[in-house]
Structure 1
Amino acid sequence: MLLIRRVIHARRFCTAVARRAEDIMPNPDCRPTSLSSRVTYLAALGYLDTAAMYARLAVFTKMKSEFTTITCQTIIENMVREKRHEDAHDLYDFFFNQHNLRPNCHSCNYILESLFQQGLVEEALDFHRSLPGLARGYPSEDTFRVLTKGLVDSGRLDQALGFLTDRTDEDDRFLVSRGQYPDDVAFNNVIRGYLDLGDVDKAKLVFDDFKHLCRRYSGYEDAVAFLTVAFMEYWFKQGKEVEAMECHNQSLLLEHKLPVSRATGNALLKVLLRYGKKDHAWALYHRMCDDKIVYNDTVMIMVKECFDMGRCSEAIETYNKAKPQGYYNIIPETNLFTQVGYLITRCCENGMLLEAESLFADSLACGFGFTDVAAFEAMIHGYVKAGRFDDALKTSNKMIDVTLEEVSHLF
C-alpha cells in the first residue's frame, strides 16, 4: 500500500493533511449518502476541484458505508478520466494511506490504469502485486482488462498473455468461482495486439488457449464469437473480404443469423460499417431488433451511422423506433435520452431545428434527472444559429431552473 506514496512523492496538490472535516470546509455535512450524491453530481458537471474537496470529507464520516467507498471511487475515476493523474494519486493516498480507509477494486483499477497511461509500467506492475488481500475484491475482471491493455500498448504482449494463461488449476477454479475468468475482453486485448503486429499464428494460438481455458465456462459460445470479430477485422484490413466474412458467419448463430450476445452484435456492426458492408450491418441490426437484443449503445451505433452518411431523417426515425413505447418495444439498458445532447446537436448542424425541438421536449417530459446540460446547450446554440434569440434565452432560463432544482436536493 505504501507503493503509491513512492509514485507520488513529488505531488504538490496538498500541503498539509486534514485531520478534521472542518479543516476542509466550514459546517461540513459528512453523511455518506448525501456526500456521495454531491460528489457524483459535481463530477458530472466537470467541477472536479470542488468535487474533490467534498470527497475528502468521506474519511470523516462517523459510519463508513458503501457510499463512502463510492465517493472515493467516483472522484478518482473522474480525475483519471480527465488525465489529472497527480490529483488522482494524491486522493488515493489521502483516502487509503493517510486515513486508512480500505480501497475497493475499482479505485485500485483506476490508479493502475493511470500508471499505465503515464508510461509507468514497472510502477503499475509493482502496484498490482501489492494489492491482493489489501483491496476488497482485487483482482477483478476489470483488473485483467487494464493489465492486458496497458502491457499490450507498451509492447509487452508476452507478459500480458502471461497474466491470462500462466495459471495453476487452483487459480483457475478460484477465479472462475468468482465469475472473473476467463475474460474475453482481456484475451481480446492480447489477440488484437498480436494481429496489429501481423502475427496471425500467435493470435490463433492465444485464441486456442482461450477456448481450452473456457471449456467449462457457461458463456463459451458468446466469448468465442466475440473474439472471432477481431480476426474478422484483421482480414478486412488485409483486403481479404472472403476470409473476413467467414469470420462474420462464425460469429453468428447460423440457424438464426443472429449474434450470440449484444456485445458481439455491437462489435460486428462497427466492423461491418467501418469496412463498407452496410447492407449486412443494417440486416443484422433489424434482426437484432426483432429478437429484442438491442440496447442503447446498439441503437446509437446505427443512429450515428445515419448522421455520418447525411441521412438525418433516417437517424431520427431509427432513434424514435427504438424508444420503449415505439415499434420495437425495446427496453434499453440505459435510457436513450442520455444521448439527447448528441442528437440535438446533429439535428441543429443539419438545419433540423423542428426535430431538435421535438427531441428536447421529449427529454424534458421524461422528468427530473434525464436531461443533461449538453442537451440544453445544444438547443440554445441551435436557437442562436437560427436567430431565435428569445427562445435561446427561455431555454437558458429553463436550464438555470432545472439546475437550481437539482442543487436544492443535494446541498
Structure 2
Amino acid sequence: MTLYRIILRSLRRSSSLPTSTTISTTQSLALHHHIDHQLQPQNPNFLVPVRSFAFSSAEEAAAERRRRKRRLRIEPPLHALRRDPNAPRPRRDPNAPRLPDTTSALVGPRLNIHNRVQSLIRAGDLDSASAIARQSVFSSTRPTVFTCNAIMAAMYRAKRYDQAIALFQFFYNQSNIVPNIVSYNILINNHCDAGRVDVGLDVYRHILANAPFGPSSVTFRHLTKGLIDAGRIGEAVDLLREMLNKGIGADSMVYNNLIAGFLNLENLEKANEFFDELKERCLVYDGVVNATFMDWFFNQGREKEAMESYKSLLDRQFKMIPATCNVLIETLLKHGKKAEAWALFDNMLDNHTPPNFQAVNSDTFNIMVNEC
C-alpha cells in the first residue's frame, strides 16, 4: 500500500508538467491504470481507515464493555463511595438516638490513649489507668467507649465494684459518652456480684426502654447468675423464657447457671430437663454443662456417673473451645483424675491447628503448669 501511494504521487507530479508528446501521456495513463489494477484490493472500502481492536471480533469487544459496566454496577469505583467534600453535610435528626463508638474510632490520638490505659491495666496500676482515662475526658481527645469499658472491666476483675460503678456514672452519665451493650453488661455484673441484683434488673429495664440496641446473651448470663445466687431461681427461669421469646438463641452458659442452681437444690430431674431442652435448642453445644454435672456427681460420691457424663461428651467428638476444656481439666484435677486430665490436654494439643482452630490458650498452660 505504501509503494502504491509513492508511485501515485510521482505520477501526479509528472502529469502536472507540460508534456512534449502525446505518447508519453498515453504511456503514463496506461501505467497508472496497470498499477491501480494490480495493487488495489478487491474491497471497495480499502481507503477507509480501519480501527484495530484488542479482540478477535467486534462482538467480543461489545461483550467486554458489557462486562465492565456490570462490574462497575456491582463494585463502584472508590471515588464514587467518597462523599463530595464540597457538598454540605446532611443535617442530623435531633430526635435520632446517639449511637456508641465503632471500632473505626480507635485511631490516632484516641488509640494512643487506649493503648496507654491498657498497658497500665496489664501492669496492675488501675489507679493510674483510671486517672488517665478520666483526665482525657476534659481534653480535646476524648476516650472511646472501648477505653472506658476496659478500665471498668479491670476494676470488676479486681473486685472493686463500687469504683467500677462510679466510673460508669462518670463516663456515661456525666461526661456524655454513649455506652454500648458491653458497658451495660459490666455494670450489671458489678451490681449482681455486689449483691444488688434488683439494681441490675433496673439496668436491664433501662436498656429495654432507652437504649438503641437490645440486651445480649451475656446480659442474661449475669442476671440469671445473680438471681440464682440470691435464691430466686424461679425468676431466673422466667428470665430465660423472656430471652428465648426475644429471639436470642439458646445460650449454654445461661442454661448452665440454671442447671447448676437446680443441682445445688438436689433437683436432678429438673436439671436434666433443662439439659435436654438445651440439646434440642442449641445448634452448637460446647460441653460446659457436662463439667457442671461431673462436679456435682463427684461431690455426691457418684464417681461412676461423673465419668459416664465425661465419656459421653468425648464420644460426641466435639471440637471444644479452650474455655470449656479448661473447665473440664480443672474438674478432673480437682477430683484426682490426673491421667484423664493429661490425656485431655494432649488431645487439645493435637487439635490445636491455628489459625483454623484454637484448642488451647494461656489459661490451659497455666492450669497444667500449676499442676506440675
TM-score, length basis structure 1: 0.57
Q: What is the one-letter code of the residue matched to 2:195?
A: G
Unpaired runs of 5+ in structure 2? Answer: 1-107, 353-358
After superposition, the CA RMSD in angstroms is 2.5
Q: What is the one-letter code of the residue matched to 1:211?
A: K
SS in 1 for 2:168: helix
Quick one: which of 227, 243, 267 aligns to 1:199? 267
- 2:180 match: 104
Bigger Rg over Cα: 2
Cα drift, residue 250 of structure 1:
1.2
Quick one: which of 56, 81, 95 aligns to 2:171? 95
Residues 244 and 250 in structure 2, CA contact (< 8 A), matched pair in contact too: no
Question: C-alpha offsets along residues 287-313 of structure 1, whole Å, 9 cap, x if unaligned?
Answer: 22223233332232222111xxxxxxx
Count of residue correspondences:
259
In percent, how many aligned pairs have the same letter?
38
- 2:299 match: 237
Whole-Å Cα distance in 1 between the matches of residues 198 and 343 of structure 2? 47
User: 4+ residue runs of structure 1 moved beyond 3 angstroms?
Assistant: 57-64, 132-138, 166-169, 258-264
Q: Is 1:148 aligned to 2:224, yes or no? A: yes
Cα drift, residue 103 of structure 1:
0.4
Unpaired runs of 5+ in structure 1? Answer: 1-29, 176-180, 307-411
- 1:75 match: 151
Whole-Å Cα distance in 1 between the matches of residues 302 and 348 of structure 2? 26
Question: C-alpha offsets along residues 94-114 of structure 1, whole Å, 9 cap, x if unaligned?
Answer: 221122211012221121111
Which has the higher relative contact order, 1 or 2, with Cα contacts under 8 A spaced 6 or more apart?
Answer: 1
| Counterparts in 2 of 1:264 and 1:290: CA distance versus 1, 3 Å | same
Quick one: which of 313, 337, 342 aligns to 1:277? 337
- 1:52 match: 130
**Counterparts of residues 11-410 of structure 1 (less than 5 Å):** 31-60=109-138, 62=140, 68-132=144-208, 134-135=210-211, 138-167=214-243, 171-172=246-247, 175=248, 181-214=249-282, 217=283, 219=284, 222-223=285-286, 225-253=287-315, 260-292=320-352, 293-306=359-372
Question: C-alpha offsets along residues 79-131 of structure 1, whole Å, 9 cap, x if unaligned?
Answer: 22333333322221222112221101222112111111221121111111102
SS in 2 for 1:130: helix
| Counterparts in 2 of 1:278 and 1:137: CA distance versus 1, 3 Å | farther
Whole-Å Cα distance in 1 between the matches of residues 141 and 214 of structure 2? 23
Question: C-alpha offsets along residues 327-382 of structure 1, whole Å, 9 cap, x if unaligned?
Answer: xxxxxxxxxxxxxxxxxxxxxxxxxxxxxxxxxxxxxxxxxxxxxxxxxxxxxxxx
SS in 2 for 1:252: helix
Whole-Å Cα distance in 2 between the matches of residues 251 and 136 of structure 1? 40
Cα drift, residue 192 of structure 1:
0.9
Q: What is the one-letter code of the residue matched to 2:330?
A: K
TM-score, length basis structure 2: 0.63
| Counterparts in 2 of 1:118 and 1:142: CA distance versus 1, 3 Å | same
Q: What is the one-letter code of the residue matched to 1:243?
A: E
Cα drift, residue 247 of structure 1:
0.4
